[in-house]
Amino acid sequence: MNRNTFRGDICRNYIKKYPQMPIKTLARLMYSENEAQFNDLEHAYGTLRYYTGTYGDSKRKAASDKELFRPIQKVVNPLDDMPKSYGAGPEFYDLPSSIKEILLLSDIHMPYHDEEALRAAIMKGVTDNVDCVILNGDTLDFHWLSAFDKDPSKPRMREELEHGRWLIKALRETFPTAQIYFKIGNHEARLEKWLRHKAPEWLGTDEFELKMLLHLTEHKVHLIQSNTIVRTGGLYIIHGHEYKGAGTVNPARNLYLKTKSSAICGHFHRKSEFLTKDIGEQIHGAWTTGCLCELNPEYMPKGNDWVHGFARISLKEKNRFTVKNYTIIDGEVY
């Protein structure tokens, strides 16, 4: 189509005179002053688009006169350069589907463990031939890294770590083929907090990581971070410090109200259970387990409801599972 006509000259003059004016606006102006030269406003608009090269890729490429072509305006989304967020969502650790029988041990607090209770819990795992052991937080006490007053008569950090290494080694020898996991609880988290305040330059250094301090890699023990939630077979496993607050009268019920899911935790050193049913007749449960440490520590010698205990979890098909929340009394499992 040959537009090098009188009408084309009109378009070229307007484009040169108003180089920054939007084409639609320019078309209205040109048409209002030259109605006799164009069929209608759309005709004027289309002619301007031809000369400015904004009529589409095919016409832009085919045009022989590109003198007045305008640069193609790229549509810019103002949200494209949004700054990267430093926020983080919840982290989950999915256990392998091959795991079927779990021994869950919480709150051992070495070197303040109860020898009879710990031995009884481990031997129950042996009897049941478990294929997974989860040290579910506060396996070590880390008394010397506490923000509270320190008792100079208590075992030093070196001895605490030696106790922890002994436990890791003993569990691997007792369960040579089982998957073993070490979950960081609020007491183990004291190490990172201490480093942040006292020696931030050592944060992230292998020699000050629990994985190396406890020889976890050597014994093929998997480390699970402090606020990471373990998922398996329809059941969530946490230490308990991930949700702030006390355990209330029934810590298991409180756990369910916070998670809205079937879940189990330690942390409170108290055995409790809560079962409920939703509108779809689906049963949900929550459990808190007893501890495997001393029951009357110096900071809480009387008036607590702590009991010795642990849990056995059996995973079934279709996300079904069973939880046996055991109590230990005088070294006997009930």
| 115-120-122-124 Cα dihedral, nearest 10 degrees | 180
CB 5 within 8 A of CB 18: no
CB atoms near residue 285 (< 10 Å): 20
- In order along the chain (334 residues), what is the average pLDDT of each group of 10 residues? 71 90 91 91 90 80 80 78 88 96 98 97 98 97 85 88 97 98 95 85 83 95 96 94 84 95 97 96 96 90 90 94 97 96
H or E element, residue 59: helix 57-62
CB 104 within 8 A of CB 124: no
User: Terminus-to-terminus CA distance in the chain, angstroms?
Assistant: 95
State the pLDDT at residue 279: 94
Question: Side-chain half-sphere of 242: how many Cα atoms within 13 Å?
Answer: 25
Distance CA 16, CA 215 (A): 77
Measured CA distances, 160 to 144, 188, 192, 194 (Å): 9, 11, 16, 16
Q: Which residue has the tokens 């004027």?
A: 44
Contacts for 277-284: CB closer than 8 Å, 24+ residues apart: 284/256
State the pLDDT at residue 331: 95
Distance CA 278, CA 259 (A): 14
CB 235 within 8 A of CB 255: no
Distance CA 101, CA 313 (A): 6
Query: Token pair for residue 160?
Result: 């605490």
- For residue 36, give the DSSP letter: G
What is the pTM (predicted TM-score) of this model?
A: 0.77
Distance CA 275, CA 103 (A): 21
